[in-house]
Amino acid sequence: MKRQQVVLKNSVHMSAAEVDDKLDISTAFMEFADKEKPGNPDKFLRDTMLSLIVAARDSTSVALSWFFWLLSKNPLVESKILEELNTNLHSNDVKSWMLFDNKEELQKLVYLHGALCESLRLYPPVPFDHKSPTKPDILPSGHRVDKDSQILFSFYAMGRMESIWGKDCLEFKPERWINKQGGIKHEPSYKFVAFGAGPRLCVGKDMAFTQMKILATAIIHAYCIQVVENHPVVPTNSVILDMKYGLKIRVAKRNACLPASVE
């Protein structure tokens, strides 16, 4: 879309220079599509906006649902996270914990980060993806692929492969994400593919972790979450790994909870 059109659509009373100071994200994408994707800008805008909507809402909520379900199945992990919160965050005001001014506070929560990574490994919000080569190529495995071939990646399956994660690949084990120095252990994006890999790595990865840590911190500190007995928890077949029947839980204030069992 041309600059003159942008000016007219935003306001007939604003100059082009004034519009430059007030560009929003939709306008920026429209200009990019007009310049870089002149053949089919509408498709580019549709796909981009859909990605933003899915990434900003559905994937984060789905990730947290699986995370809290896994915590309910692993009370020892929950106890360790709570201990870490009490050790590193000294405020009793839960609301203040949701307004971190810098990343230093979040970086202290190493075990929580590991638990979130484990949840994403076992239950990636986007369970599969596909790519198509623009020209014939040879994969690292030696397989030849033709132009426009559909190559499907199952992130859900990859997170459960012994050849990638070891014999304990089916275990919910936050410790696998902690290095010998007690910091967060880095795993290559081509191994931990919940956020994509290489040049296609999700640009919102850090923001997603920040959101999940803030919400998990506030909830775990204040409440106990117990999944309703006999409620079926299974994934649905979808582009987003929703729980087919949702997650039915009982919530109680933390100070009213019985100590968690740590068998």
Kindly give, in sequence order, each residue whose CB lies less than 8 Å from that of residue 221, ignoring residues fewer than 6 positions away: 82, 85, 89, 94, 97, 254
Tell me if 117 is assigned to a ligand binding site.
Answer: no
Q: Terminal CA-to-CA distance of the chain, rounded, Å? A: 62
Return d(Cα 204, Cα 176) in angstroms, integer.
Answer: 23
- Residue 128: beta bridge partners? 154
Burial 143-158 (b: 16+ CB within 10 A, else e): eebeeeeeeeeebbeb
DSSP 255: G
Taking a C-beta distance cutoff of 8 angstroms, is the pair 48, 29 a contact? yes
138 beta partners: 144
Which of 224, 214, 219 has the alpha carbon at shortest distance from 254? 224
DSSP H or E segment with residue 118 = helix 110-122
Q: Are 194 and 124 in contact (CB under 8 A)?
A: yes
In whole angstroms, give the CA distance from residue 180 to residue 261: 27
> Largest Cα–Cα distance in the chain?
69
**Whole-angstrom Cα distance, residue 155 to residue 51?**
18
Q: Would you list which residues are annotated within the binding site for heme?
A: 202
Q: Would you list which residues are annotated within the binding site?
A: 202
